[in-house]
Chains A and B, each alone.
Chain A
Amino acid sequence: MTREQTTPSYPPPTPTAVSAPFWEAAQERRLAYQRCADCAQAVFPPRAHCPHCWSESLTWQESTGHGTIASFTVAHRPGHPAFAELAPFVLALIDVQDGFRLLSRLTTNPEEGLAVSAPVRVVWESSGDWTLPLFELITVDGGP
Chain B
Amino acid sequence: MSPAAIVGIGELAPQRYSSGATTLSMIARAALEATRDAGLAREDIDGLLVGPQVGETPQHVPATVAEYLGLHPTMANVVDLGGASGAGMAWRAAAAIQAGMCQTVLCVLGNINERGRVPRSPNRNPIREFDVPFGASGANTSYAFLAQRHLAEYGTTSAQLATAVVAQRENAQLNPKAVFHGTPLTVEEVLASPFVVEPLRLLEIVMPCAGAAAFIVTSAERARDLRHRPVLLSGAGEKVTHRAMSQAPSLTSGPLKAAIDSAYRQSGTGAQDMDLLQLYDCYSIVIALTLEDAGVCPVGESGPWMAENDLTWRGPKPLNTHGGQLSFGQADLAGGMSHIVEAVHQLRHEAGERQVADARTALVTGNGATLSEATALVLQREDS
| A residues whose Cβ falls under 8 Å from a Cβ of B | 10-16, 19, 44-45, 70-80, 83, 86, 88-89, 91, 93, 101-105, 115-117, 130, 132, 134
Q: Is the CB of B148 within 8 A of A132?
A: no
| Bound Cα distance from A101 to B138, whole angstroms | 19
Say yes or no for B246: interface residue by CB 8 A criterion: yes
Say yes or no for B135: interface residue by CB 8 A criterion: yes
Of B123, B126, B141, B194, which is within 8 A of A75 by CB? B141
Q: Which of B98-133 contact A (CB under 8 A)?
A: 123, 125-126, 128-133
| Bound Cα distance from A75 to B136, whole angstroms | 9
Q: Is the CB of B145 within 8 A of A130?
A: no
Between-chain CB contacts (< 8 Å), 30 pairs:
A11-B132, A11-B137, A13-B130, A14-B128, A16-B129, A19-B126, A45-B126, A45-B244, A70-B145, A70-B251, A71-B146, A71-B148, A73-B198, A74-B197, A75-B135, A75-B136, A75-B141, A75-B144, A76-B197, A77-B197, A78-B136, A80-B137, A91-B145, A93-B246, A93-B251, A101-B247, A103-B136, A105-B134, A105-B135, A117-B152
Q: Which partner residue on chain B sits nearest A72 by CB separation?
A: B148
Q: Is the CB of A11 within 8 A of B133?
A: yes
Q: Which partner residue on chain B sits nearest A76 by CB separation?
A: B195
Task: Give the number of residues in B that approach A within 8 Å (Cβ atoms).
Answer: 35
Say yes or no for B153: interface residue by CB 8 A criterion: yes
Say yes or no for B269: interface residue by CB 8 A criterion: no
| Bound Cα distance from A73 to B144, whole angstroms | 6
Q: Is the CB of A102 within 8 A of B135?
A: no
Q: Is the CB of A91 within 8 A of B133?
A: no
Sort A-B residue pairs by CB-CB distance and give the 10 closest, nearest first: A79-B138, A79-B137, A73-B144, A116-B152, A80-B137, A71-B145, A74-B198, A71-B149, A45-B126, A83-B135
Of B129, B138, B149, B194, which is within 8 A of A13 by CB? B129
Interface centre among A73, A76, A77 (most CB of B within 10 A): A73
CB distance from A45 to the nearest CB of B (A): 4
Q: Is the CB of A73 within 8 A of B148?
A: yes
Q: Is the CB of A16 within 8 A of B141?
A: no
CB distance from B128 to the nearest CB of A (A): 5
Q: Which partner residue on chain A sits nearest B145 by CB separation?
A: A71
Say yes or no for B140: interface residue by CB 8 A criterion: yes
Q: Which of B145-163 contact A (CB under 8 A)?
A: 145-146, 148-149, 152-153
CB distance from B199 to the nearest CB of A (A): 8
Q: Which residues of A contact B195 (CB under 8 A)?
A: 74, 76, 88
Q: Which residues of A contact B134 (CB under 8 A)?
A: 91, 103-105, 132, 134
Q: Which partner residue on chain A sits nearest B195 by CB separation?
A: A76
| Bound Cα distance from A51 to B227, whole angstroms | 50
Q: Which residues of B contact A83 (CB under 8 A)?
A: 135, 137
Of A19, A86, A105, which is within 8 A of B129 by CB? A19
Q: Which residues of A contact B137 (CB under 8 A)?
A: 11, 78-80, 83
Q: Is the CB of B133 within 8 A of A10?
A: yes
Q: Which residues of B contact A14 (CB under 8 A)?
A: 123, 125, 128-129
Say yes or no for B245: interface residue by CB 8 A criterion: yes
Say yes or no for B196: interface residue by CB 8 A criterion: yes
Of A16, A79, A130, which is within 8 A of B140 by CB? A79
Q: Which partner residue on chain A sits nearest B201 by CB separation?
A: A76
| Bound Cα distance from A80 to B135, whole angstroms | 7
Q: Which residues of A contact B129 (CB under 8 A)?
A: 13-16, 19, 45
Q: Which residues of A contact B136 (CB under 8 A)?
A: 75, 78-79, 91, 103
Q: A71-B149, A73-B197, A102-B246 are in contact. Are A91 and B128 (CB under 8 A)?
A: no
Q: Which partner residue on chain A sits nearest B140 by CB separation?
A: A79
